[in-house]
Structure 1
Amino acid sequence: MNIIDELTWRGAVNQQTDAEGLKKLVSSRPISLYCGVDPTGDSMHIGHLIPFMMMKRFELADHHPYILIGGATGSIGDPSGRKSERQLQTMETVQHNVAALSAQMQKLFGGADHISFVNNYDWLSKISLLEFLRDYGKLFNINTMLAKDIVASRLDVGISFTEFAYQILQSVDFLTLHRKYNVQLQIGGADQWGNITSGIDLIHKVAGADAEVYGLTIPLMLKADGTKFGKTAGGAIWLDEKKTSPYEFYQFWLNQDDRDVIKYLKYFTFLDQTEITEIERQLKTHPENRLAQRRLAEEVTRFVHGEDALKSAQRITDILFAGNIGSLSATEVQAAFGKAPSVEITSTPSDIVTLLVTTEIEPSKRQAREDVTNGAITVNGVRITDVDQVIDPHDKFDGQFVIIRRGKKKYFLAHVQD
């Protein structure tokens, strides 16, 4: 299947500057293409992952992707999707984020034979102010720049020259990569359309109108309920395991709505059309098995965190489902309950009622006794019904944690302090 046909089947194509020309080009020979990410933070979240999954698909189809880390553009900020100016980061912070994102990209894609990594700081930092104005600024029409959606949406509240000029810098990126590596395609999110077309215009002005360069954007991903994909009540789902543990990452995918799961299988996995079609058939006939969700969680967790992390996430899931919390290791407890409400307790043994009240899990001794007597309290997976039961914090999890559950779902992670 032609790579463009595959992306279309996967629902991954929003706009193209020349659909017929691009399809003809990628069908005739391997090409070089690029996608960039600015280091606004020290980790990507799953929303960032979408265009880079497309890059990996191009690589698997024998094309040569270039992944660009915006060490320069990230220091000024893209105005896209914002109603106010970005707070500029220090250059030290930018460089820290560049290193973190570069390591993350290398982990995800560094083993590929035909994926290269570049940093636009390497060329943009060498352009003087006069060169910027004479060699590039002269080629951009203010009226055209103002008409771009990313700029027009900010005119009512105002936009600084710094963010206004962002599209020029990104255009220079495309031109530089085209000159140096014969990059012919830029991929980006739907909000990058204006920047991508500016880059194509610049290349045509510098290299000639017959230069074969193209742009492709992916759709904005929304869930079936119309809300933005990738966010939860606890915030973004990060690719950094220190921000979102592999278990939490796995659970995010495992809990996807039936209405969304096939779309996500197409976007975020490398399963082929035949296998996804079969999974979709089983989803329709036996949705209670949640095969689609399990395959989605397995494939994406394995891709981002590796096989060992996937097995650990599955083990924690199985243990919690069986209610055998005491079988978890201390590390697994941290992974599974790291986002649960946290309390601190001393290492001194205490009766259950005192423990519940001093941690403010229960508002009073009367309520604590009532909940214990009614069987609403479990400690480390064991139901406690005796109000005089003594809890020793050293019993489980290397003496580091005590897991308290009130009711069916309300968990508290007690950190044991020496």
Structure 2
Amino acid sequence: MTNIIDELKWRGAVNQVSDEENLSKLLDEKSVGVYCGTDPTGDSLHVGHLIPFMMLKRFQLAGHRAFILIGGGTGSIGDPSGRSTERTLQTMEQVHHNEEALTSQMKKLFGEDNITIVNNYDWLSKISLLDFLRDYGKLFNINTMLNKEVVASRLEVGISFTEFTYQILQAVDFHHLLLENDVQLQIGGADQWGNITAGIDLIHKMEGSDTQAFALTIPLMLKADGTKFGKSAGGAVWLDPEKTTPYEFYQFWLNQDDRDVVKYLKYFTFLGKEEIEELAKKVKTEPEKREAQRRLAEEVTEFVHGKEAVHQAEHISKALFSGEVKDLTADEIEQGFKNMPTVTVNKEPENIVEWLVESGIEKSKRQAREDVTNGAIYINGDRIKDLEFMIDPSKQFDGKFVIARRGKKRYFLGRVID
């Protein structure tokens, strides 16, 4: 069996690792407890958050015990990592709502085998101020804390005592999980190195310097053009289908640059080395086929949303490309036309020329008649050349939509109002 550290290195997924020799040896000897955490700062993860959790999934599939920590406690004070200003504190009600949403997402991604989801609110909320200062604060050296990159980068603009203590709380988490669940490895993004190693230092001070505890971080992911990965034209790409539809999610991966796609296949899919290397060859020899991008979109969409979402996204893509939209369901239209020009239309049947002008698709009746006569207008996938044609919204798509197309690719979504 391939050593998982070697595999992660091949995938370009290792930034820093503490005591690699002993960690590799431990991972070969037994099933190790591995954890990755996220704070409930929102009610959904986005694809940028997914990176370390994909690594955790690899440990899970390799037979190790995966732990996901939802930071109900740490999330209530805010991690200074990757920020130049203080976070706005959320209400505890909002934190708890986000905890529930993220827990549900994680269960969907990881299933039930070799996975445990914990919430650090359960133990951090029970530590009194005096116990915190006596039992933990005494073990942290201010000079060492100031030198951590996450704090040092904030000293010029200032950092509150609240955010300054964040690394202590994360260290307490690692110590707690070691004692309660035999968790010996924490993984996270590159910006978490200081927080994770603070946990290892705490463990060595409290449990002895020979206690085995390890850190592994994932590189910061940048696109080939140097910009940050994970954003689309509409903003963040969310895992929540209500925020980013499965079709939009699929399209995000399908539209990746040739220069990035092989890297993303290594990071975000569970395809083997042989298949990825074959796809990498096709990127060079047949880039126009975009086979690597299609495989990437299929794999990640299935992992996050399931097989049916992949079929649906492919069906929408094919329909929009070919113009054969009449077989789409109302749900597929909702997804595929989300970012297209939308107009509101009445549910009563109406003459096509009148309808085109009233909906704002055409500027004048003269232009509308000309476009219809010339065959430039399509309604629900059918070319209409009859000036007397009546548009009846009740005929298709559950009476919710009318799809108009002018020319080859100019789509408009008519959303029916009562």
Q: Shared fold by TM > 0.5?
A: yes
1:347 aligns with 2:309: no
Which amino acid in structure 1 is aligned with residue 94 of structure 2?
A: T
In 2, Cα distance between equivalents of 1:135 and 1:283: 56
SS at match of 2:395: coil
In 1, Cα distance between equivalents of 2:131 and 2:372: 75
**Alignment RMSD, CA only?**
1.9
Tell me by how many angstroms 1:151 deviates.
1.4
SS at match of 2:80: coil
1:61-82 deviation per Cα after TM superposition (whole angstroms, max 9, x unaligned): 2211111111111111111111
Quick one: structure 1 residues 87 and 373, their matched pair in 2 at CA, closer, same or farther if it must change by over 3 Å? farther
Instruction: Return the TM-score normalized by structure 1.
Output: 0.94
In 2, Cα distance between equivalents of 1:389 and 1:221: 54
My pick for the range that moved more, 357-366 or 100-109, is 357-366
1:2 aligns with 2:9: no
Matches within 5 A, 1:173-212: 173-212=173-212
Figure out how many residues of one structure are paired with residues of the other and give that number. 417
SS at match of 2:414: strand
Tell me by how many angstroms 1:354 deviates.
3.9
The aligned residue for residue 68 of structure 1 is 69
Tell me by how many angstroms 1:369 deviates.
5.5
Quick one: structure 1 residues 284 and 204, their matched pair in 2 at CA, closer, same or farther if it must change by over 3 Å? same
The aligned residue for residue 239 of structure 1 is 239
My pick for the range that moved more, 389-398 or 200-209, is 389-398
1:147-178 deviation per Cα after TM superposition (whole angstroms, max 9, x unaligned): 21111222222221111111111111011011
SS at match of 2:326: helix
Tell me by how many angstroms 1:389 deviates.
4.6
1:344-403 deviation per Cα after TM superposition (whole angstroms, max 9, x unaligned): 221123344443444444555566556556655433223445666543222321110112
Percent identity among equivalent residues?
Answer: 67
My pick for the range that moved more, 341-350 or 359-368, is 359-368
Tell me by how many angstroms 1:84 deviates.
1.6
In 2, Cα distance between equivalents of 1:85 and 1:369: 59
In 2, Cα distance between equivalents of 1:56 and 1:11: 16
Tell me by how many angstroms 1:220 deviates.
1.0
Quick one: structure 1 residues 84 and 388, their matched pair in 2 at CA, closer, same or farther if it must change by over 3 Å? farther
In 2, Cα distance between equivalents of 1:384 and 1:218: 55
The aligned residue for residue 23 of structure 2 is 22
Which amino acid in structure 2 is aligned with residue 77 of structure 1?
A: G
Which amino acid in structure 1 is aligned with residue 46 of structure 2?
A: H
In 2, Cα distance between equivalents of 1:373 and 1:75: 63
In 2, Cα distance between equivalents of 1:273 and 1:203: 37
The aligned residue for residue 324 of structure 1 is 324
In 2, Cα distance between equivalents of 1:15 and 1:108: 25
1:318-338 deviation per Cα after TM superposition (whole angstroms, max 9, x unaligned): 222221011111111112112
My pick for the range that moved more, 1-10 or 289-298, is 289-298
In 2, Cα distance between equivalents of 1:357 and 1:80: 53
My pick for the range that moved more, 279-288 or 133-142, is 279-288
Matches within 5 A, 1:348-363: 348-363=348-363
Quick one: structure 1 residues 170 and 374, their matched pair in 2 at CA, closer, same or farther if it must change by over 3 Å? farther
Which amino acid in structure 2 is aligned with residue 116 of structure 1?
A: T
In 1, Cα distance between equivalents of 2:96 and 2:186: 24
The aligned residue for residue 379 of structure 2 is 379
1:106-140 deviation per Cα after TM superposition (whole angstroms, max 9, x unaligned): 111123x2111111011001111111111111111
The aligned residue for residue 283 of structure 1 is 283
Matches within 5 A, 1:118-129: 118-129=118-129
In 1, Cα distance between equivalents of 2:125 and 2:92: 12
My pick for the range that moved more, 227-236 or 306-315, is 306-315
In 1, Cα distance between equivalents of 2:104 and 2:124: 22
5+ long unaligned stretches in structure 1: none
The aligned residue for residue 159 of structure 1 is 159
The aligned residue for residue 45 of structure 1 is 46
1:59 aligns with 2:74: no
Tell me by how many angstroms 1:212 deviates.
1.2
In 1, Cα distance between equivalents of 2:230 and 2:349: 42
In 2, Cα distance between equivalents of 1:163 and 1:230: 26
Tell me by how many angstroms 1:184 deviates.
1.1
My pick for the range that moved more, 373-382 or 160-169, is 373-382
Which amino acid in structure 2 is aligned with residue 224 of structure 1?
A: A
Quick one: structure 1 residues 219 and 406, their matched pair in 2 at CA, closer, same or farther if it must change by over 3 Å? farther
SS at match of 1:177: helix
Which amino acid in structure 1 is aligned with residue 43 of structure 2?
A: D
Quick one: structure 1 residues 370 and 87, their matched pair in 2 at CA, closer, same or farther if it must change by over 3 Å? farther
In 2, Cα distance between equivalents of 1:18 and 1:362: 68
The aligned residue for residue 97 of structure 1 is 98
